[in-house]
Amino acid sequence: MPKRPRKPSKPLLTDENLPLQSRPVKRRDPEQPHLPFDPMPERVEPCLALLKSKPPRGPDWSYEIKWDGYRIAVHIEPSGVRIITRGGHDWTHRFPAIADAAKALGQTTMILDGEAVVLDEQGPSDFGLLQNSLGASRKSGGKLPSRNSLLYAFDLLYLDGHDLRGTEYRVRRHLLEDVVPRDEGAIRLSEEFDADPNDLLNHACRLGLESIIAKHRDSPYRSGRTGDWLKIKCVQRDSFAIIGYEPSTAMPGAVASLLLAARYRDGYKYVGSVGTGFKHDVARSLKKMLDKVKTRVPVDRVPGKNLVMTGPAYVAEIEYRAWTSDGKLRHPSFKGLRDPDDAGELYRLPD
């Protein structure tokens, strides 16, 4: 029997003799008894910023600084708190201060999207300090809890039974400002800046920050690099695989430089070496770590003598100024190791 069309002016006045039609009622998850509307997602793939050379302008865009740490999602549920990394690993035990601050927010259920950071003495976030707090350069192999890290929250994906991913960013931001405290605790609000984006970028660069983020106010939360969020950098910064090292002649038991590679097609391609950015103790610990993954079959040919080749087991975060004409990094500087459990995306060269 065909459905009878509803009258736009009186949508509820239909023929009472017609059979009632409705969709099956979805059973409520017994693990979430207090969420009567949308079940909380187990995990959300993050929205990522698309790299642009210039910031967009206009009232449809908001601007924030780029925090230098680990992207995490904090799930506050009736059963407790979970902290999930970008790679999908449960790191609740690695960020105890953030977990405690999340519990202190009360009975509200939510998912916060943000960046776990450690601040230096001047105030900016420092990726190297975060890695040190996680034990990246110690015998623990990077498995320590970071007790001095904090979360800068910049989006709200779920709140009290409502999945907010389909709502506009301006709405999510308004709700985020209501639930995240503005004090100096372990969970803080990532501030928006009402300023000319070019002035903001120049100011961020003068302070030694990596970049700024622009977000379209009317966009829903979509996973991946959709262009809803844009990143405008002061300097280039990406992740590269370590495929070997040059031993130090001045300091026995340490590396002089690391050999780096980017993803290329189905393998790796050498993109240069980095010999600055690490202190003596880090140079020694890097050699001990890399000596455990030596290989006789390098992933790519590297020019030079007395080099030690390794498998691409470790990922380095590298800051650099540009690319040379022969495809090498210009003025690279080592910023730290990415955790093997959550290395993020390796830089990929175009085919």
13-27, 118-132, 147-161: range with highest mean pLDDT: 147-161
The answer, yes or no, to whether residue 20 has pLDDT greater than 80, is no
pLDDT band at 286 (very low <50, low <70, confident <90, very high): very high
6 dihedral zone (left: phi>0; alpha: psi -120 to 50; beta): beta
- Running DSSP on this structure, what letter comes out for residue 47? B
Beta bridge partners of 153: 114, 189
pLDDT band at 74 (very low <50, low <70, confident <90, very high): very high
* Run of H or E residues at 80: strand 80-85
Task: Tell me which of 248 and 36 has the higher pLDDT.
Answer: 248
Mean pLDDT over 106-115 rounds to: 91
Averaged confidence pLDDT in the chain: 86
Lowest mean pLDDT among 21-25, 114-118, 274-278, 296-300: 21-25
CATH class assigned to 50-233: alpha beta
Kindly report, residue by residue over 210-236, the tens digit of the pLDDT. 899 999 999 999 999 999 999 998 888
pLDDT value, residue 265: 92
pLDDT value, residue 134: 85
User: Virtual CA dihedral for 316, 322, 324, 325, nearest 10 degrees?
Assistant: 130
Lowest mean pLDDT among 22-31, 143-152, 187-196, 209-218: 22-31
Residue among 26, 52, 66, 233 flagged as catalytic: 66
Annotation says 66 is catalytic: yes
Confirm if 52 and 63 have CB atoms less than 8 A apart: no
CATH class assigned to 236-342: mainly beta
Question: DSSP for 35-46?
Answer: --SSPPPS--PP
- C-alpha torsion sign, points 117, 123, 128, 132: negative
pTM above 0.75, yes or no: no
Q: Where do the structural domains in the chain lie, given as residue ranges?
A: 50-233, 236-342
Kindly report, residue by residue over 303-328, the tens digit of the pLDDT. 999 999 999 999 999 999 888 889 99
For residues 251 and 229, what is the distance between their CA atoms, to the nearest angstrom?
Answer: 45
- Please compute, for residue 346, the number of CA atoms within 13 A of its CA located in the half-sphere on the CB side: 25
